[in-house]
Amino acid sequence: MPEAEAMKLLAAGLAAGLGMLGPGIGIGILGAGAMNALGRNPEARGAILTNMILAIAFAEALGIYALIVAIILAMVA
């Protein structure tokens, strides 16, 4: 039965790692795009900041979903 436990933990680790890779890259791209936009048009700071924070929150939610799936995979009997 140790093989089943190892596979369960491997699946949880892969789910967390791969599931958080995309949001991490996406948040980095969002931040870079926002800084580029602010450099080009500093007067639009409010709209750019609001949209950036909203988009980052949506990307972060995907990472949290991946964490929840990983926890469920690790806890399942």
**Sequential pLDDT tens for the chain (77 residues):** 689 889 999 999 999 999 999 999 999 999 999 999 999 999 999 999 999 999 999 999 999 999 999 999 999 85
Residue type, 23: P
Domain containing residue 51: CATH number:
1.20.20.10
Which pLDDT value is given to residue 70?
93
Closest to 19 in 3D by CA, of 71, 54, 56, 77: 71
pTM of structure: 0.80
Q: How many separate domains does the chain show?
A: 1
Domain range for 17: 2-75
Measured between its terminal Cα atoms, the distance across the chain in Å is: 12
Distance CA 74, CA 77 (A): 8
